[in-house]
Amino acid sequence: MPMHEANRMMRLPPYLFTIVDGIKREVRAKGVDVIDFSMGNPDFDPPSHVITAARQALRMKGVHRYSKWDEEIECNLRRAIARWYYTKFGVELDPDKEVVPLIGSKEGIAHLALAFLNNDDLALIPSPAYPVHFNGVIMAGGILYNIPLSEDRGYLPDLMSIPRETTRLSKMMMLSYPHNPTTATCDLDFFNRVIHWGHDKNIIVVHDLAYSDIVFGSKRAHSILEVKGARKFCVEFHTLSKSYSMPGWRMGFAVGNRDILSSLVKTKSYVDFGLFRGVQQAAIAALTGPQTYVKRIVGLYKQRIDYFVDGLNRIGWPAKKPQATFYIWSRLPAQYCAFTSMEFTELLLRETGVAVAPGTGFGEQGEGFVRFAMVVPEVRMKVALGRIQEFLKRKV
């Protein structure tokens, strides 16, 4: 009997990263040494005090049981998040009503869409974007209105370009700065404009602040909640995956409007049992412990970026240094401009073993670009640059 996936699943675009993963497997099976820049998957170890806290937690009484919202450890975690937030952004949060721990921010973003979108509800989603921003909407049955982001506007959405009727019918808008994949940042003035734009509309503004710590030089990432009035209709997502190199631990959180968050908690209560207590204890240690680690890895990412971007430019692939995130968002080399980003990614991977993320994996507006994640040590970058240099010398 043929099994048919739900219509909403068939509406999802092909998950290009799964396709790239498949090609990686194929190439590896042929004995090629793959150098993988394709996923934003930090390769540093988390802070040692975090590992220690997790180890100790494994011996705690009751650690292996389902966790509960009102028990001590979860209350402590929510308090730790609120304190971290205040220290970082000067934003005061009620830990019981305005903070929700998540099994990674990706999970939370997808469930938020499920909590609020009816079939055919509109959501305003910039393109390119981190895939769950649009795929979450599609899985919830919603309809995407793509706001194109362009380099000449600093990859900020032009809110005035959205037709009035579209805005009226939209239930949700997604933003994320520092931005994956373009690496763009925004200042507080942009958030002021967003709040001014949204205050008289019935729209939830979601801000994904995954890269709040990965900023360079004098730049600073802002919370949208720093703007007066934002709490009336905004929620913000965070993750420990990037700042503390804990992607596999699955720990994130959402903060902001209590009513929106209460619907998120309700949705989650039907599908999950919260975070493992060992992970909660580790998260408390990460958020309340010394933050020197964060500074150190930001420095290391910057070193990698400088090394790799200088290398790309030297071998004839023009690239720019980002002000934030650990990505390089780069146009395809000129001689490959007739290729789609997916065709180029596949060719590069098959011919050199260097894996990148195709721009269209982040939506239509990502066409013509690829993204390198700086999750590879410099010795391996050197090898990759050598292979790319040979590749670029070949006839197309």
Among 47, 54, 100, 106, binds ligand PLP (CB under 6 A): 106
Smallest distance from ligand PLP to CB 6, Å: 23
- Give the interface segment with ligand PLP, choosing from 13-21, 103-111, 287-295, 330-338 (CB under 6 A): 103-111
Tally Cβ neighbours within 10 Å of residue 338: 9
Strand duo 170-175 + 99-102: pairing: unpaired
Q: Which stretch binds ligand PLP (CB under 6 A): 99-107, 120-128, 296-304, 315-323?
A: 99-107
Considering the complex, state which of residue 131 and residue 333 has its C-beta at the smaller distance from ligand PLP: 131
- Say whether residue 40 binds ligand PLP (CB under 6 A): yes
Q: Which of residues 338-377 bind ligand PLP (CB under 6 A)?
A: none
Q: What is the nearest approach in angstroms of ligand PLP to the Cβ of residue 185?
A: 13
The span from the CA of 184 to the CA of 156, in Å, is 8
Residue 111 is a binding residue for ligand PLP (CB under 6 A): no
Order of strands, sheet of 204-208, starting from the edge strand that comes earlier in the sequence: 99-102, 252-256, 234-239, 204-208, 170-175, 122-127, 143-148
Among 80, 210, 235, 282, binds ligand PLP (CB under 6 A): 210
Binding of residue 183 to ligand PLP (CB under 6 A): no
d(CA 209, CA 203): 19
Interface pattern 123-162 for ligand PLP (x via CB under 6 A): -------x--------------------------------
180 binds ligand PLP (CB under 6 A): yes
Residue 144 host element (H or E):
strand 143-148
Examine residue 46 and tell whether it contacts ligand PLP (CB under 6 A). no
Which pair of tokens denotes residue 263? 């619907």
Q: Which token pair is 348?
A: 């590069």
CB-CB neighbours of 345 under 10 Å = 27
C-beta of residue 182 within 8 angstroms of C-beta of residue 132: no
- Number of residues interacting with ligand PLP: please give it, by CB under 6 A: 13
The residue among 41 and 335 lying less far from ligand PLP, judged by its C-beta, is 41
φ, ψ for residue 186 (rounded to 5)?
A: -135, 160
Does 104 contact ligand PLP by CB under 6 A? Answer: yes
CB of 131 to ligand PLP, least distance (A): 9
Q: Which one, 180 or 360, has the nearer CB to ligand PLP? A: 180
Question: DSSP secondary-structure letter at 305?
Answer: H
Q: What is the C-alpha separation between 211 and 244, in angstroms, rounded?
A: 11
CA distances (Å), origin 345, targets 35, 163, 210:
13, 35, 25
Residues, the chain: 396
User: How near is the Cβ of 290 to ligand PLP at its closest, in Å?
Assistant: 22
Instruction: Mark 229-258 with x for binding to ligand PLP (rule: CB under 6 A) and - for no binding.
Output: ----------x-x-----x----x------
Q: Is the Cβ of residue 40 or residue 359 nearer to ligand PLP in the bound state? A: 40
**Rounded to an integer, what distance in angstroms lies between the CA atom of residue 158 and that of residue 208?**
18
Nearer to ligand PLP, 137 or 385 (CB): 137
CB-neighbour burial class of residue 22 (10 A; exposed 0-12, middle 13-18, buried 19+): exposed
| Footprint of ligand PLP (CB under 6 A) | 40, 104-106, 130, 176, 180, 208, 210, 239, 241, 247, 252
